[in-house]
Every structure is written in C-alpha cells, then in structure tokens.
Amino acid sequence: MNVALKILHLSHTGLPDERIERSAWSCSSAGHEVHFAGSKYRGLSLPSDPFLTKSELGFDLRSNLGEPFSTLRLVQRLKRIVAEVKPDSIHAHDIFAGRLAAKIKMPFVYDDHEYWSKEAQAYAGPVDPIWTYKHILWKSWEGQVLEEATAVIAVSDATAAEHRETNRRVFVVPNFPRDVEARGIPEPAPSRSDLASVYVGNCTPPFARFRDTSGLTEVFEGGKIGSLRVIGDERLETSPHVASTGRKSHSDMMKEISKCDIGLIPWKKHWFHPYCNPNKAYEYAHAGCLVMVTSGLEQVRKTLSSWCLTFDNHEQLARTLSDLMARPDEVLEKRRGTQAFARDRLLWDKYDAVLAGLHSL
C-alpha cells in the first residue's frame, strides 16, 4: 500500500499551466497532498483545482541567469514555504525549479518540459551571445539537477535518451490531455464549408527558431485550400481566408479546435524538432482534427502513427490540403478515427500511477 505524501510542485512560471496541473492531478489521484509554489496565480486550465495551497515565489530574469543575490533570495523564500508546507518531495517543473530543489537538499523529481540547455543552444549564435551564455550556464545546472534528481521525466524519447546518460531513472510522459479536458467534445461531423485548418500559436514574428511559421498565412490566400483559423496570436489580424481569434482559455480553445477539420503544426524544419513533443498535436487529435505536422517532429509522428500526415515545406502542405479538399468523406473518416485513437490511447490519466509513484522511489 502506497503511503500518502505531501508534494510541492515548483515552477518558475505561474498558473495556469496544463502540464503542471496534469502532474498535480496524477499525484492527487493517488492520494497525495499537492501544493504549488511559483510565479503569480492567474487561474487554472483544467476545470478543478488539485492544489491545497499556492505560494508565490519570485523567480525573475536575474535568478534565472544565476545572479547570486536573487538566487539567495529565492532559496530563502523557498525554505520558508517548505517550513510551512513540510513536503516529503518536490516536483520541479523546469531547470530553475530543479536547481532550487537541489540547493535546499530536498528529494525531488525533475520534470523537464523543455530540455532547457538544448533549447538555449537552438537560439545561440554570434548574433545572440546571451543565448550562448544561457546554454553554457543551464547545461551546467542540468548536469547537477539530473545527477541529484530522484527520477526524471521527459517529453520525448530523444530527450530521455540523452538524460539517461546521467540518470538511469528517466521516464517519458508525453503532453497528452487528461480525460476531463476532452470530455464533452462531440464526434466530428461533416464540414459545412470548405476545408478548415487550425493552428494554435503565433503566425507573426518574432518566432522561436524552431517554431517558425513565417509565410503560413500567405499559403491560404485565395482560398484554394480552404481557410485557416489561428488561436493565440494577439497581433494577427483577420483576413478573408485567415481568422484570428486571439488568446482563449484552454476549454474554449478545445471547443474552437473541434470546429475545424485539420490541426496543423507547420513549423519550418529545425534540428531541435526531434526533442519536441508539442501538446497541441494531441489536443487536435482529441478535438477530432486530422493532424498534419512538419516531418521533423519525430515524436509526434511515432506517437500518432498512421493518424498523422506529414509535410516537408509549405508547398507540400498546400498540395496535400488541395488533395484533401477533393475527398471530404475520407477526411471525415480520418477525423473520426483520429479522435477514437486519441480517446483510447493518448490520455495523461494512463500515466497517473507512474507519476505518483516516482515520489516514493
């Protein structure tokens, strides 16, 4: 019989955050008591609150770059929170949280959402010396955090393979939704208009180098391959064949996605893509979209298998969408099959026992 624990979820970001909340619910579902410490609380993405308490911890750019005074202040604040909560274990949701947990000598599980040092390397270069510094700094922190963590969670097989060179207890937990996030979304119905594609993210610069969608909206000009709906870009203006909704709550985003036929991740190819496993791919699937992604997103391709179409560039994307427009019945069948596959296989809930058990190692 598992012993109930007190677990402090620690992150340099605030709430809402889907992955943090999902992890907390995994711990709570096993009977553990869960608490949160991080930046400001602005609400939740999931429909109910797993946290018994929430404490504000002042991460900032200086502490994230290792400035001694800011780091000392953070350590002191965390020690006060730990004295109040008395956790048995910390669930550290990023390299900054992992470094803090290591500094106060608490048992912790390191949940690597981003592969921070590798992501910094993707930005580094002669025109971005600050990112070169971040890469060097965060890589050194990463080594210590990986060595001292009770266990490590990664989002992709590529990240896990590299982390296992330092810590053998590495587990892959993909960015799947919990059942409650997709509950109530209807089965896909025949489209009432031309093919409708959706992208959750930014279509206006500046772009993260491995999330570059420049030129995507131009692909839909003329309406020959249907329409594009963009969710989450506050600067993009609506045009005849591109609808921009701005930011939406997580539940409203899921409802908006479910109105579309095709879920896109149209990032231009980048060497960092094998380490990525974006949650939007699986949110698209649960919402009943046919998922189409850049071919370099290997983890998404492997996870969705035949329920995922790939393309190498915008020209190939346009050709594929044009072909799909001529086969609406096949698109509907694929959408229904994708949603059924997601509801059967792609659920965070299936990892509850694994996630909760890591804190007992």
* Amino acid in the structure at residue 232: G
Give percent of the chain above pLDDT 70: 99
Do 6-174+348-358 and 179-345 have matching folds? yes
For residue 227, give the 3-state DSSP assignment. Answer: strand
Phi, psi of 175 (to 5 degrees): -85, 60
What are the tens digits of pLDDT across the range 207-246?
A: 989 999 999 999 999 889 999 999 999 999 999 999 999 9
Residue 246: beta bridge partners?
A: 231
pLDDT of residue 361: 86
Average pLDDT over residues 154-178: 97
Contacts for 60 with CB less than 8 Å, ≥ 6 apart? 70
Region 179-345: CATH code: 3.40.50.2000
Does the domain at 6-174+348-358 match CATH 3.40.50.2000? Answer given as yes
For the chain, which residues make up each domain, given as ranges? 6-174+348-358, 179-345
Question: What is the rounded CA–CA span in Å between residue 111 and residue 93?
Answer: 5
Is a pLDDT exceeding 90 seen at residue 125? no
- C-alpha pair distances (Å), 5 with each of 33, 148, 169, 288: 6, 20, 20, 38
> Would you state the pLDDT for residue 191?
76
Q: What does pTM read for this prediction?
A: 0.95
39-81: per-residue pLDDT in tens?
A: 989 999 999 999 999 999 989 999 999 999 999 999 999 999 9
User: DSSP labels for 137-191?
Assistant: HHHHHHHHHHHH-SEEEESSHHHHHHHTTT-S-EEE---PPPHHHHTTPPPP---
Q: Residues 144-181, buried b or exposed e (16+ Cβ, 10 A)?
A: ebbebbbbbbbbbbbbbebbeeebeebbbbbbbbbeeb
